[in-house]
Amino acid sequence: AAVAADESGFFGRKKRRRAVLAMLAEVMAVDPATVPLKSLSELTGQLNASYKQLAEFRRRLSESPLSMLGYAWNPLIKNDADHLRATVAVLQRLVELVPASPSGELAANIREFYSSTAQGDCASLLATLASSWEQLVAATGVSYEQQAEWAQGSSFIAWWWQTRAGRHLQDSETLGNWIELIEHVEPLRGAGMLSARAGILTGEISAEDAALAFDYGSAKSSVAERLDATRLGDFDVAAHARSIQRFTSSTRAIRDELRRAIPAQLLAARRFDADASSGQVGGLRRQLDRRRGGMSVRALMANYGDLITRIMPCTLMSPDSVARFFPAGQGIFDIVVFDEASQIRVADAIGAMGRANSVVVVGDSKQMPPTSFAEAGVSADDDEDYNTDAVADEESILTECVHALVPQQWLSWHYRSQDEALIAFSNFHYYSGQLASFPAPLASSSGHGISLVRVDGHFQRDGRGKELRTNRVEAERIVEEIRRRFAASPEEAPSLGVITFNAQQRDLIENLLRDAADDRLLQALDEPDGLFVKNLENVQGDERDTILFSVAFSKNAKGVLPLNFGPLSKPGGERRLNVAITRARREVVLYSSFDPSDLRAEETGQIGTKHLKAYLEMAKRGVEALVEDDRRQPVIDRHRDEVADAL
């Protein structure tokens, strides 16, 4: 029909070709509209040739010993084609199993079965095996997937055969244990922890380490998730360091600029002629130029106070100097700030407070109290006019304000210590763990933290002369250490301070330093921010990178360590200790002529002595010594909490 359509006349040829296509449309795999009409005869010829080849192929397959394709098999149908491919794959596998020269009963049975009969010995064996396998699956409740896991990549039968040596046929303990293990680790699949489950099943993770591995994996996953969520994984250390450097440089530049900008602003805000020769400006100038017979400071402030405060709006003075030089009157100062207020008596502070519109009191009640040296005490028995209704002053203006319920602001950030161990003792014993400090980046790094140096020194308690109440061995060791540190830093004098428990030891160490004939030491001793040697009661407000302590005291001739440690053993001695041990930015080194165990702190009620022993113990054994105290409080660290919340 296709040939006839092609050979027909021009008129109606296209219609006749379409009629032929319509006859084939039901069996075509493509859209008939896409078939070129001019090649219709050629396509039908190719189709006829393919049909003949298909008939020949079916005839040859029918003559083979295989009978599994069926009489209606058609390779042009997709399902039949897939069946053929599967059958060919089986044949290829059989070729691999059955060599050309078969050997063994299995190969012979397979060849006999497929070459002559539809059944054979192999078929019955396979049927028996299949039945047994189904019974095993039903009895154990183990899926085929779980069997594959137990076989560790091998076939189930092969692995069963390989493990036969460790298993008796009458004892299914090995497989039973496996089944039980499968049940135990099954929750890991639901949790998405497939790698952990596989590690346990394969033995890569031992049972003893499973819990530890879980904790490790959880922590590792949490860190990875947080790094990804917060983009900390992209953190550039070098770029961050550059930002810090820029910030530091900018801050320093701003501070330098403020030294010029603030005076310039004050000069610009003046409303008087500084060069005037008359008026208040001229009068003040003449008073200042007079060498004799001029007004006192108080008289100058009384007559020219307003002008002087405009010229010098910020005044640094002690409280008693304010009362002595400035006339009484409110509003002389907009604000008065008391620093180190724990050392300022109420009577000394009142005068300055009365001359200000507002007051800020800054201090630490755990640090040094006001000095009572050479003060006369007055009691009710000594004063006939003593008023029993009068309220006694508090110890300092700081405690007075606290008890008066003046609004307070707690300053919890600790900025000085570059090693957390330096503030740990005070934070624990004096501040209830409320100070926020940064953890030390390096544990026990050289030049940081607290250490104890035991020396074989002797404290001179008896006799006369300069050696009385000193420990020369300790003093010489400290001087030797100072000279070593200066020699190790030839370009710049190291930041050092020495603290002693009494004035005599202080004088001995300073004299040894000055007698060393070292110009660098002498220069450092004379510089305001250089090397200092001070006793406990004079060190508040100072700070250095490294502080060297000289305890000085030692056992007496009877081998007993007396419990008298000078100011430390007096009431409030613990406050003196707190001041002394918080002066270092990097390192504290204690020189002691006795062991901490020699100090019988339990025999005294003085808190300062008890704390000294605890501090020596911590210097010897590390911060871990604090953990043994049952009173240890949780550390309040707001910076740490903010970082944790952000993560």
CATH number at residue 361: 3.40.50.300
Rounded to whole angstroms, how far apart are CA atoms 210 and 196? 9
Rounded to whole angstroms, how far apart are CA atoms 478 and 592? 11
Same domain as 347, residue 471: no
Same domain as 564, residue 499: yes
Task: Please indicate, yes or no, if residue 265 is contained in any of the structural domains.
Answer: no
Same domain as 435, residue 489: yes
User: Strands, E, within 488-641: which ranges?
Assistant: 496-500, 532-535, 544-550, 584-592
For the record, the structure tokens of 302 come out as: 């009384």
Inter-residue contact 607 to 430 (CB < 8 Å): no
Domain boundary among 97, 122, 146: 97
Same domain as 525, residue 441: yes
User: What pLDDT shows up at residue 47?
Assistant: 72
Same domain as 637, residue 535: yes
User: What pLDDT shows up at residue 632?
Assistant: 47
Q: What is the mean pLDDT of each run of 10 residues along the chain (647 residues)?
A: 60 66 63 66 72 76 60 67 77 64 60 56 65 70 68 68 58 62 81 83 81 89 87 86 94 95 90 86 90 88 89 91 87 93 93 94 91 50 48 84 93 87 92 81 72 96 88 98 97 97 96 95 95 94 96 95 92 93 96 97 94 95 69 59 79
Task: Please indicate, yes or no, if residue 181 is contained in any of the structural domains.
Answer: no
Report which residue type is found at 530. G
Task: Please indicate, yes or no, if residue 20 is contained in any of the structural domains.
Answer: yes
Task: Please indicate, yes or no, if residue 320 is contained in any of the structural domains.
Answer: yes
User: H helices of 312-438, where?
Assistant: 319-325, 346-353, 397-403, 421-429
Q: Domain total for the chain?
A: 4
Same domain as 533, residue 506: yes
Same domain as 445, residue 361: no
449-454 and 496-500 strand pairing: unpaired
| Phi, psi of 38, deg, nearest 5 | -70, -25
Which structural domain, as residue segments, surrounds residue 227? 206-235
Question: How distant, in Å, are the alpha carbons of 81, 86, 99, 126, 536 from that of 92?
Answer: 17, 10, 11, 19, 97
Same domain as 435, residue 364: no
Same domain as 466, residue 590: yes
Inter-residue contact 421 to 585 (CB < 8 Å): no
| Phi, psi of 458, deg, nearest 5 | -135, 130
> H or E element: which one contains 338?
strand 336-338
Residue 233 is given by DSSP the state G
The residues, any chain, with a CB within 8 Å of residue 280's CB and separated by 6 or more, are 272, 304, 307
Task: Please indicate, yes or no, if residue 305 is contained in any of the structural domains.
Answer: no
CB atoms under 10 Å from CB of 73, counted, come to 15
Question: How distant, in Å, are the alpha carbons of 227, 406, 440, 572 from that of 220?
Answer: 10, 50, 23, 50
User: What pLDDT shows up at residue 97?
Assistant: 61
3-class DSSP assignment, residue 359: strand
Domain boundary among 51, 68, 97: 97
Same domain as 430, residue 403: no
Q: For residue 435, which of 578, 586, 629, 636 has the smallest C-alpha distance? A: 636
Task: Please indicate, yes or no, if residue 15 is contained in any of the structural domains.
Answer: yes
User: What pLDDT shows up at residue 631?
Assistant: 47
Task: Please indicate, yes or no, if residue 145 is contained in any of the structural domains.
Answer: no
Task: Please indicate, yes or no, if residue 637 is contained in any of the structural domains.
Answer: yes
Same domain as 397, residue 486: no
The residues, any chain, with a CB within 8 Å of residue 247's CB and separated by 6 or more, are none
Same domain as 397, residue 443: no
Domain boundary among 80, 97, 114: 97
Q: For residue 508, which of 483, 533, 536, 480 has the smallest C-alpha distance? A: 533
